[in-house]
């Protein structure tokens, strides 16, 4: 007697092909989700780096203007502060812990399939 998996593969290859196609679709979906999160973090990191460079330049200009005019004005602090705040927000977003649990659906599906195979094997052994 053949194991139930072999009789299913031999008797219904279309079901096996459909099951494998569904696995491929699940992998594609989960990879797309993980990719979107990664791209968002990379973009946030690039924006944070650009904002830090902009903030450094604006701070330098503010210091030069303050020294040149010999007076202090609130705009000399406010303009670079906006760039610093943007850099801080983007840096926080880029470095925060990942909220996605990548490939959990795929793991659960594999576990369910393995459990079904174990059950079929145990039933077959009796």
pLDDT per residue, tens digit, the chain (126 aa), is: 566 667 777 777 788 788 889 889 888 988 888 888 889 899 999 999 999 999 999 999 999 999 999 888 899 999 999 999 999 999 999 999 877 666 788 888 888 888 887 887 666 665
- Amino acid 3: pLDDT: 65
Global confidence as pTM: 0.64
3-class SS at 78? helix
Determine contact, residues 76/65, Cβ cutoff 8 Å: yes
Judge whether 48 and 90 are in contact, CB under 8 Å. yes
Contact 83, 55 (CB under 8 A): yes
78 burial level (CB within 10 Å; 0-12, 13-18, 19+): exposed
């Amino acid at each position: 007697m053949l194991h139930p998996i072999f009789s299913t593969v031999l008797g219904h290859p279309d079901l096996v092909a459909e099951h494998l196609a569904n696995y491929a679709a699940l992998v594609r979906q989960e990879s797309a989700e993980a990719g979107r999160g990664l791209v968002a973090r990379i973009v946030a990191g690039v924006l944070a780096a650009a904002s830090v460079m902009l903030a450094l330049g604006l701070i330098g200009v503010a210091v030069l203007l303050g020294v040149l005019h010999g007076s202090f004005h609130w705009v000399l602090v406010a303009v670079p502060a906006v760039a610093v705040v943007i850099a801080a927000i983007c840096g926080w977003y880029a470095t925060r812990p990942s909220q996605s649990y990548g490939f959990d659906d795929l793991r659960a599906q594999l576990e369910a399939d393995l459990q079904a195979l174990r059950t079929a094997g145990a039933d077959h052994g009796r």
